[in-house]
Chains A and B, each alone.
Chain A
Amino acid sequence: MSVDLLVGAVAFILTLMTLSYLVADNPAFRVAVHIFVGVAAGYVAAVAWWQVLWPDLLLPLANGPAVRRAALAIPLLLSGMLLMKAWPPLTRIGAPAMALLVGAAAAVAVGGAVQGTLIPQTSATIDALGTQNARTFEMLVNGVLVLAGVVSSLAYFHFSARTGADGSTRRFAVLEIIATVGSVFLAITLGVLFAGVYSAALTALIERLHFLGSFLGLN
C-alpha cells in the first residue's frame, strides 16, 4: 500500500467520522476530534521548539557572542518563569513574563491601530466626498451613504444614556435616531458577512465531497 493511499484512506475515514456529526453526536466523531487535537498539539509543540526556542534562544545561548548571550539571559529567565504557569501553585511566578508579552502586544496593537486603521480609514471616508472621488452624482451619493453608514454604525455602539422623568433610561433622541439608522447598516453588513461565511463553509463542503468522490473514484 503506497503512502499516498494510506494517507488518503486515513483522511477518508476521518472525514466520514467527522461528517457523521450531521446525523448526531457519536463516538466516532469524538474519536476523530480527539485524534485531531492530539496531532495538532504535538505538531505545534514541535514547531515551537524547532522554529522558536531552538533557533532564537538555545542556539544563540550556546554559540552566540557574549553580549548576545547576556541579553538572552532575560528571555531565558522569563521563559522559565512562564513555564511555572502550568502549575497552579506557582502560577504567580509567571506573571512578569506574561506582563512583558501583554505590554508588547498592547503597544504594537496601539501603534498599528492608529497608523494602519484609524487614520487611513477616516481619511478614506472623508476623501470619498472629495472632488477627486466624487466626480459624478452617483459617486457623490455613494460617498454620502458610506459616510452615513460609518457615522451611524459608530453611533449604534454609543450606549451612554440618561434617566428620564419617568425613570426610564434612554439615549438622546437624536442619537437614538442615528443609532436606528446604524442598526440598518449593520444588519446589511452582517447579512453580507453571513453570505460570505456560508460561502466559505459551502466551499469546504464541496471540497470534502469532491475528495470523497475522488477517493472512491467517482470524480
Chain B
Amino acid sequence: MYLAAVILAVGAGAIILAGYYVPALAGLQGLLLSWAIILAGSAAVVGVFNLVLVHTTRISNREKGGVYSAILLICLLGTFLYGLAMGPSDSGMRLVINAVVVPVESSLMAVLAVSLLYAAVRLLRHRPNAMSVVFLVTAALILVASATLPFGEVGPLNDFLRPWLQHVLALGGARGLLIGIGLGTLTTGLRVLVGADRPYGTR
C-alpha cells in the first residue's frame, strides 16, 4: 500500500508536469486532473463525515460542550438532507446561506477590525524595536492616505507618499515575497515529485 502510494504520487505528478511542455501528454494530463477533481470532492465529503464523527463522539462521551455539538449536528444534518433533496442551487438553500453563513462570517470579520486595532495599539509594548516602529508608521500613513478629510485630501500624502510607499517600497517587498513563495513552491513540489517528501502517509 505504501509503495503503491509513492508510485501513484510520483507517476501522476510526473505526467501532469510533463503535460505542460509535451503536447502529446495533454490528454493524459487531463485524465489525471479529472481524477484529482473527483477525489477532491470525495475529500470534502470525508471531511464533513469526520466532523460528524468528532461531534458525535463528544456527545456520546458527554463531554463539555456537548450541547453545542448537538446543535452543530442538527444544523448539519438538516442542511445536508435538504440540500441533498433539493439541490444546492435551490432558493431555500440560498436563503439559509444568506441567513446564517453570510451574517456570521461577516460578523466574525467585523470583530477582527477591533482586534487588529487593539493589537496595533499595543504592539510597541510587546515589541519595542525599530522594525515595529517602521511597521506602525507605514500602517498609519497608509491608513491616513487611504481616507479623505472633510476638507479634502492631504495633497502630499495622497499624491506622493502613498503611491510611493505602495508602488515602490511595498512593491519590492511584495515581489520578493512572491518570488520566495514561488521558489518554496517549486522546491516543495519537486520534493514530492521525486518522493523525498511523502505527506500522504508513511509506514
Binding site for B on A (CB under 8 A): 3, 6-8, 10-12, 14-15, 18-19, 21-22, 30-53, 56-57, 71, 74-75, 78-79, 82-83, 85-86, 91-111, 113-115, 117-118, 121-122, 124-125, 142, 145-154, 157, 182-202, 204-205, 207-209, 211
Complex partner residue of A38 from B6, B50, B79, B193, CB under 8 angstroms: B79
A192 vs B6: C-alpha distance when bound (angstroms): 43
Does the CB pair A86–B46 fall under 8 Å?
yes
Complex partner residue of B76 from A39, A184, A201, CB under 8 angstroms: A39
Complex partner residue of A39 from B38, B79, B137, CB under 8 angstroms: B79
**Smallest beta-carbon distance A109→chain B, Å:** 5
A40 vs B116: C-alpha distance when bound (angstroms): 26
Does the CB pair A101–B51 fall under 8 Å?
no
Number of A-B contacts (CB under 8 A): 418
Complex partner residue of A192 from B12, B142, B185, B190, CB under 8 angstroms: B142
Binding site for A on B (CB under 8 A): 1-2, 4-6, 8-17, 20, 31-51, 53, 65, 68-69, 71-84, 87-88, 93, 95-114, 116-117, 120, 131-132, 134-139, 142-143, 146, 164-183, 185-186, 188-190, 192-193, 198-201
Q: Can you give 6 contacting A-B residue pairs, CB < 8 Å?
A: A38-B76, A50-B83, A110-B186, A111-B20, A185-B173, A201-B110
A21 vs B108: C-alpha distance when bound (angstroms): 9
Does the CB pair B186–A114 fall under 8 Å?
yes
Complex partner residue of A189 from B5, B46, B169, CB under 8 angstroms: B169
Does the CB pair A107–B16 fall under 8 Å?
yes
Complex partner residue of B183 from A31, A97, A118, A196, CB under 8 angstroms: A118
Known contacts A7-B99, A15-B107: does B12 contact A188 (CB below 8 Å)?
no
